[in-house]
Amino acid sequence: MAEAQLKDDQAPRKLAYVNAITEGIAEAMREESQAFLAGEDVAGAGSVFGYTGGLLEEFGADRVIDTPISEKGIMGLGVGAAATGCRPIIDLMFMDFLGECMDEVANQMAKMRYMFGGHARLPVTVLTMSGAGMSLAAQHSQSLEVWLTHLPGLKVVAPATPYDAKGLIISACRDDNPVFVLLNKLSLALQGEVPEGAYEVPIGKANVMREGKNLTLIAYSRMVHEAMQAADQLKEFGIDAEVIDLRSLSPLDTDTIIESVKKTHRAVIVHEAVRFSGFGGELAAQIQELAFDYLDAPVGRVGAPFSPVPYSPSLEQSYMPNAKRIVAETRRLLGV
Amino acid sequence: MAAPAIGSMTFRYAFRGSFTDTHDCFGYARHPVRPDHPKSPEIGGDKPVTIQATDAVLLDIHERMVRIRIFEEEAGKLMENGKVPGALHLYVGQEAVAAGVMAHLEDSDHITSTHRGHGHVVAKGGQFNEMYAELYGKAAGYCKGRGGSMHICNMEIGMLGANGIVGGGIPIAMGAAFSKKFRKTKEVAASFFGDGASNEGSFHEAANMAALYKLPLILVCENNGFGEYTRQDNHQAIVDVADRAAGYGMPGVVVDGMDAIAVYEAAGEAVARARNGEGPTLLECKTYRFYDHVGVRGMGLSYRTDEEVDAWKQRDPIKLIEEKLIEQGIITKRKISAIHKRIREEAMAAIKFAEDSPLPDPDGLLEDVYYVQA
Ligand SMILES: Cc1ncc(C[n+]2csc(CCOP(=O)(O)OP(=O)(O)O)c2C)c(N)n1
Ligand SMILES: [Mg+2]
């Protein structure tokens, strides 16, 4: 927790992604008495991922609530409470469990405000964990962001760094509309600079992680780090890649993407989700619609193959996109 | 949920005359019928089915239990030593449930299981070689290394898979039971699930449909007192999950899940009902997991005390059945040791087989997705 961290004025404070999540939730709950956190094993156990540790002690059992294993109920709790004056923070543990509560998400949460002629306000934040890489197999490793981004009425953010994790959670909790914060399990131990206190990372604003001249790598969540590595390796082939971390998938910062592509004339999109019907398809379409005349090559897409996530490490390793695959796809596209 | 509480537990049977009054359960009096059971349908009319385990059946149940225990002990070591990837949810402590139910089932009967599924595979007749190979993620595994612990299956022996989704197996078992009725077979389906899973919509919808269509389904709730790290009294406002049966119009039975013989008898009633076309039963087995939610020591959270675990270990289901077998002169202590030794050796050989066998070829990654989509 924040209090336990050293307060060194000089060196910027480093924090793991997992602790940045905790701080984000804690700050949001400190500033808003109507905020509560509910989910499976978030109170006593501090969540199976460890990111709600200490919150029960600080906020008490009235505001940090262990729920039964009833995802439809939990999501409904969030919708109903948000519509009637609370600011719920709902923890869905694994994103794969969306299947259990998709009606609450898609037909209720996402549509209520619109259907009710704007008369409902739904300040609900949902935290959930995506991504493969831990041999947790087909039902605990998925990246299902397009299930959510296809729904008007939801905001969807996917932080890649500890800084963004904390800031986006705070922004999500301050937002008067439903926001999904997609976390990444392989990133939990990732260290990064995280300021103390509350700060926002704006929802709908991409981050240019690295500037470059002749290629734009567009990524989000953990794939941002793979894209950064790929950018390093691509120098060897005379490619100076710009890397954009989308941070927010919906709303999407098309301005930043298009501005970059107009400069570099080439784009490769990277996500961990299955490539087919993935979010990269939307990005590629936006780019060709808005920057067709600037493109010197087809827009590339790197994603997982069209298969469920396998268990065996040998299969999972070849399943997951990585820097090597980004480099290979880029070289293929650009013929270098 | 202190272990001794099970002693004061009222054993309730919705069946009329199903169980012998004299059946000893560690000195606790049984209540063969609980007449005030809310809206329990009268089952079996005036011809109660009495299930009694023969010596051969008792030995068979014991063998299944020891196989599970040893498989899981060794699997736990493999996980703790980092030999196998992923997360293993181990079944140690709950063996009486899988063994007692499975002793009634044929290969043609189907089961669905949970994230804590190894015990169900072993009890249904799964082989150690293919099971350990799957945990290792090897090509020789039951799922060719694609599924791992949480999806381990064997269709040939009617095992429709462990399941990574809590409650995920229950509607599937209901569908399998529908198929059995539709195809006019005498087969049954059984679904194993936890106390935590009984809070999922999937349980409630499947239970209602099974009762409505009078499906040959046995809903086996393994109430081990926790869903992950949350105690039962913190996740549902009832003590007996079996109470939920009344709401769907099927009998609900509570049984001591540490007593394999009691489980066998109660499951026998339920299976007989199912085979006779009389519909589903909710069978709740009160049990306990000796290991942590995941792995052996798990995350080291203090959600239960060592004293509580030790108290339950006093009623270790394997110890209980072995005491009974010896006491009744069915087997000697020496022969029991020989069984343990034989199974341990089989497990060690299977682990060696798994370790030595090749990983799946990544080129096969896209097989079984119906078609290759670029
Ligand atoms: C739909 C869904 N929600 C949550 C989880 C995470 N989870 C895995 S096991 C478990 C506890 C299950 O408890 P119970 O049904 O009692 O089975 P037990 O682990 O005690 O055998 C939970 C919450 C999951 N796998 N699937
Ligand atoms: Mg349980």
C-alpha–C-alpha distance, residues A124 and A88, integer Å: 5
pLDDT above 70 coverage of chain A, percent: 97
Angle at B35 between CA B30 and CA B37, to 5 degrees: 95
Chain B neighbors of A72, CB-CB under 8 A: 201
A80: DSSP letter: H
Residues of B in contact with A64 (CB under 8 A): none
Omega before A251 within 30 of 0, i.e. cis: yes
Question: Is B61:B260 a contact under the CB 8 Å cutoff?
Answer: yes
Q: Which of A233, A202, A203 is nearest to A217 (CA)?
A: A233
Nearest atom (ligand 1) to Cα of B222: 21
Instruction: Report the distance separating Cα B255 and Cα A34, nearest Å.
Output: 44
Cα A322 to Cα A214, A222, A319, A327, B362, distances in angstroms:
21, 10, 9, 9, 16
Six token digits for residue A89: 């923070």
Measured from CB, residues less than 6 Å from any atom of ligand 1 are A 40, 69, 71, 93, 97, 100; B 114-116, 164-166, 193-197, 224, 226-228, 293
Average pLDDT over residues A149-172: 98
- The CA distance from B153 to B174, in Å, is 17
Tens-digit pLDDT profile for residues B156-204: 999 999 999 999 999 999 999 999 999 999 999 999 999 999 999 999 9
List the structure tokens of A274. Answer: 């299955």
Predicted pLDDT at A7: 53
Structure-token pair, residue B367: 């097989």
- Cα B137 to chain centroid distance, Å, stands at 24
Residues B276-307 have pLDDT tens digits of 999 999 999 999 999 999 999 988 888 999 99
Looking at domain A207-334, its CATH architecture is 3-Layer(aba) Sandwich (3.40)
Verify whether the Cβ–Cβ distance B145 to A311 is below 8 Å: yes
**pLDDT of res. B52:** 83
Mean per-residue pLDDT for A35-59?
A: 97
Going by C-beta distance under 8 Å and a sequence separation of 6 or more, which residues neighbour residue B350? B127, B128, B129, B131, B132
Query: What mean pLDDT value characterizes chain A?
Result: 96
Q: What is the pLDDT of residues A224-279, one digit of tens each?
A: 999 999 999 999 999 999 999 999 999 999 999 999 999 999 999 999 999 999 99
Cβ of B148 within 8 Å of Cβ of A99? The answer is no
| One fold for A15-193 and A207-334 | yes
pLDDT of residue B33: 30
DSSP letter string over A283-329? Answer: HHHHHHHHHGGG-SSPPEEEEE-SSPPPSSHHHHHHHS--HHHHHHH
Q: B8, exposed or middle or buried, with CB in 10 Å at 0-12, 13-18, 19+?
A: exposed
Kindly indicate the confidence band of residue B87, based on its pLDDT and cuts at 50, 70 and 90. very high
Confidence label for A11 from pLDDT (cuts 50, 70 and 90): confident
The average pLDDT across B349-373 equals 95
Q: What span, in angstroms and rounded, lies between the C-alpha atoms of A179 and B347?
A: 49
Mean pLDDT of A179-183: 98
pLDDT digit string, tens, across residues A200-211: 999 999 999 999
Q: Which residue type is seen at A104?
A: E
**Tokens matching residue A21:** 């999540």
Spatial contact of B271 and B188, defined as CB atoms under 8 Å apart: yes
* Residue A150 structure tokens: 């296809």
Q: What is the pLDDT of residue B301?
A: 87
Q: Topology of domain A15-193, per CATH?
A: Rossmann fold (3.40.50)
Neighbour count for residue B373 (Cβ, 10 Å): 13
Find the ligand nearest to B202 CA: 1
Q: Whose CA is nearest to atom 7 of ligand 1?
A: B166
Phi/psi at B80 (5° precision): -65, -30
pLDDT at A1 over 60: no
Q: Where are the domains of chain A?
A: 15-193, 207-334
Bigger pLDDT: A10 vs A335: A335
B347 Rama sector, left if φ>0, alpha if ψ -120 to 50, beta otherwise: alpha
A311 contacts B148? CB cut-off 8 A: yes
> Residues near B230 by Cβ (< 8 Å), separated by ≥ 6?
A40, A41, A44, A45, A66, A68, B196, B303
pLDDT per position as a tens digit, A70-99: 999 999 999 999 999 999 999 999 999 999
Beta-carbon contacts of B311 under 8 Å, excluding residues fewer than 6 positions away, are B2, B3, B4
Give, using CA atoms, the residue closest to atom 8 of ligand 1.
B166
Tell me, yes or no, if B275 comes closer than 8 A to chain A by beta carbon.
no
DSSP A268: E
Dihedral sign (CA A76, A77, A79, A80): positive
A2 pLDDT exceeds 60? no
Which residue has better confidence, B371 or A56?
A: A56
Judge contact between B42 and B16, C-beta under 8 A. yes
SS (H, E, C) chain B: CCCCHHHHCCCCCCCCCCCCCCCCECCECCCCCCCCCCCCCCCCCCCCCCCCCCHHHHHHHHHHHHHHHHHHHHHHHHHHCCCCCCCCCCCCCCHHHHHHHHCCCCCCCEEECCCCCHHHHHHHCCCHHHHHHHHCCCCCCCCCCCCCHHHCCEHHHCECCCCCCCCCHHHHHHHHHHHHHHCCCCCCEEEEEECHHHHCHHHHHHHHHHHHCCCCEEEEEEECCEECCEEHHHCCCCCCHHHHHHHHCCCEEEEECCCHHHHHHHHHHHHHHHHCCCCCEEEEEECCCCCCCCCCCCCCCCCCCHHHHHHHHCCCHHHHHHHHHHHCCCCCHHHHHHHHHHHHHHHHHHHHHHHHCCCCCHHHCCCCCCCCCC
- Whether B317 contacts chain A with CB within 8 A: no
Backbone angles phi, psi at A67, to 5 degrees: -110, 165
User: CB–CB of B146 and A72 under 8 A?
Assistant: no
In chain A, % of residues over pLDDT 90? 96
Atom index in ligand 1 nearest the CA of residue A140 equals 25
Closest CA to B179 of B189, B194, B192, B169: B189
Q: What is the pLDDT of residue B4?
A: 30
pLDDT tens figures, A26-35:
999 999 999 9
Mean pLDDT of chain B: 88
Residues contacting B248, CB < 8 A, separation 6+: B204, B207, B208, B210, B211, B282
Q: Residues B12-62: pLDDT tens digits?
A: 322 222 333 433 222 223 333 333 333 333 333 344 456 789 999 999 999
Mean pLDDT for the stretch of residues A42-70: 97
Q: Which of B224, B292, B197 is nearest to A69 (CA)?
A: B197
Q: How is residue B294 written in tokens?
A: 């995941």
Residue B7 has pLDDT above 90, yes or no: no
Running DSSP on this structure, what letter comes out for residue A175?
S
- The yes-or-no verdict on residue A323 having pLDDT over 90 is yes
State the smallest CA–CA distance between residue A139 and chain B in angstroms: 6
Secondary structure string (H, E, C) spanning A17-64? HHHHHHHHHHHHHHHCCCEEEEECCCCCCCCCCCCCCCHHHHHCCCCE
* CA atoms of B87 and B298, how far apart (whole Å): 10
The answer to whether A119 is a known catalytic residue is no
Q: What is the pLDDT of residues A113-144, one digit of tens each?
A: 999 999 999 999 999 999 999 999 999 999 99
DSSP A150: T
What length does chain B have? 374
Delineate the domains of chain B, giving CATH numbers in brackets: 50-354 (3.40.50.970)
In 3D space, the residue among A103, A127, A106 whose CA is nearest the CA of residue A21 turns out to be A127
CA B180 to chain CA centroid, nearest Å: 21
Query: CA separation (Å) from B220 to B66, B139, B206, B270?
Result: 21, 32, 13, 10
Predicted confidence at residue B40, as pLDDT, reads 33
Contact status, residue B343 vs residue B67, Cβ threshold 8 Å? yes
Please tell me which residue of chain B has the smallest CA distance to A304: B374
